[in-house]
Amino acid sequence: MAVMSMDVQKKELNNGITVATEVMPHLRSASLGVWLKCGSRYEEKSNTGISHFIEHLLFKGTRKRSAATIAESIDSIGGQLNAFTEKEYIGYYAKVLDEHLPLAFDLVSDIVLHPTFPADEVERERNVIFEEINMVEDSPQELILDLFMEQFWKNHPLGWPISGTKKSVANISRNDVKKFFENNYTAGNIIVAVAGNIRHREVQKLAERYFSGLKRGAATELGHAPEVFSGRRIRRKAHLEQTHLCVGTTAPPIASEERYCAHLLSSILGGGMSSRLFQNIRERRGLVYSIYSMLNLYQDAGSLVVYAGAAHDKAGEVVDLVLKEFGSLREKLVSGQELKRAKEFIKGSVMLSLESSSSRMTHLAQQLIYYGRFCGLEEILDAVERVAARDIRDLANRIFDDSTLALTALSGRNGSDLNAVSMRV
């Protein structure tokens, strides 16, 4: 498999901001991202949702631009401008034609560094977030994942929904927003990542021009790792035609040497149409339409979660079958053919995910956040290739443990049959 070469550089500004760049001369685009190493896990219970609230508000006006002017500025050059909040970071990004990169720097830096948080916009956006929370409540596939994490990492920020709750968002004041912004949007928490048809030095000069005046500040503290709560949680929700299920357990943290093994295990279990869950539970038995596994990996914790949606009277059978697949991975080595297929699936996914300037920009920032360095594509692909069948079995024996297994269900019925399911592998 041919590996794409990487022309990558890193520079630290005097105030502590890290600037990461990757040259992709075959493109006409450039993607700029400003990344804050302070996502929703850095919140208190009383202000959960404030990181996401601020992300919304930063587009509502700066010292020199109104919300309308921000929108017009990016539309006038045919660019894309957006943001997102995750558990351990927040990102603000623009994708533009390479010739418009200076304007992208001016616009994104203005949004991130100089918001005014207009009082009327705070109240208006609060209502928008209420509707966002309502939307999740009306989407059982999204809601069940929030419910699972809330139970699995109970009383820990990693278990709280990123958007917060209606109660917590209602209690966040404009002063709370300004204080949280001032404490966390500091140079010590920022990575500026740029990829595309660029020149390293020109990007570094732009970063110095727009970001060198920001105070260093203190890096946000990570806090303690979450405690795992096993067992089951069943919530009844009227008018659901299916029972939505999450069965999960622990997984290695994101920087663990076992992360490649974990991705392969998840792929074999439920990562695609040829996975064990899809073939055995959907294709052979016809019990579900959607079933898959996912990894949620963070700096000091991780979870592997299986999602499935089934008829109410088949939900218990589906859980039993999922647990049997856990047991099979513990007891038997995966075949050489199955392991090879999973490796090609992972390697192909990695390569395909890095074909745009925006994805390469994201890749740069995430590597610095979690590993403190750039991992070349060849290094990643080699690490995947080195995983052996016995490594997967060893990991399965550690994580598919009865003491860490958890079940969450969202059902139109009372779920009494799920209470009877033995949560043992």
CB within 8 Å of 242: residues ≥ 6 apart: 140, 309, 310, 311, 312, 412
What architecture is the 7-211 domain classified under in CATH?
A: 2-Layer Sandwich (3.30)
Cα–Cα distance measured from residue 144 to residue 136, given in angstroms and rounded to the nearest whole number:
9
Q: Is the domain covering 231-419 a CATH 3.30.830.10 domain?
A: yes
| Residues in a beta bridge with 248 | 305, 406
Classify burial at 128, counting beta carbons within 10 Å of its beta carbon; exposed 0-12, middle 13-18, buried 19 or more. exposed
Cα–Cα distance measured from residue 143 to residue 305, given in angstroms and rounded to the nearest whole number:
14
pTM, rounded to two decimals: 0.93
What is the length of the chain? 425
Cα–Cα distance measured from residue 277 to residue 275, given in angstroms and rounded to the nearest whole number:
6
The set of catalytic residues is 55
DSSP single-letter state for residue 78: T
Q: CB–CB of 345/267 below 8 Å?
A: yes
Cα–Cα distance measured from residue 364 to residue 203, given in angstroms and rounded to the nearest whole number:
15
Rg (CA), the chain: 23
Alpha carbon distances (Å) from 25 to 167, 197, 356: 49, 5, 12
Measure CA of the first residue to CA of the last residue in the chain; give whole Å. Answer: 38
DSSP single-letter state for residue 80: E
Classify burial at 326, counting beta carbons within 10 Å of its beta carbon; exposed 0-12, middle 13-18, buried 19 or more. buried
List the structure tokens of 416: 């009494």
Cα–Cα distance measured from residue 257 to residue 272, given in angstroms and rounded to the nearest whole number:
24
User: What angle, rounded to 10 degrees, do the helices at 377-386 and 259-270 form?
Assistant: 70
Cα–Cα distance measured from residue 371 to residue 386, given in angstroms and rounded to the nearest whole number:
20
| Side chain identity, residue 281 | I
Cα–Cα distance measured from residue 419 to residue 208, given in angstroms and rounded to the nearest whole number:
59
| Side chain identity, residue 72 | E
SS3 (DSSP) at 51? helix
* Helix%, strand%, coil% for the chain, nearest 5: 50, 20, 30
| Residues in a beta bridge with 93 | 33, 82
For residue 353, what pLDDT is reported?
85
User: Mind listing the pLDDT tens digit of every residue in the chain (425 residues)?
Assistant: 445 567 999 999 999 999 999 999 999 999 999 999 999 999 999 999 999 999 999 999 999 999 999 999 999 999 999 999 999 999 999 999 999 999 999 999 999 999 999 999 999 999 999 999 999 999 999 999 999 999 999 999 999 999 999 999 999 999 999 999 999 999 999 999 999 999 999 999 999 999 999 999 888 888 899 999 998 999 999 889 999 999 999 999 999 999 999 999 999 999 989 999 999 999 999 999 999 999 999 999 999 999 999 999 999 999 999 999 999 999 999 999 999 999 999 999 998 888 899 999 999 999 999 999 998 889 999 999 999 999 999 999 999 999 999 999 999 887 777 887 888 88
Cα 303–chain centre separation: 12
Q: Where are the domains of the chain?
A: 7-211, 231-419
* Domain 7-211 shares a fold with domain 231-419: yes
For residue 4, what pLDDT is reported?
55
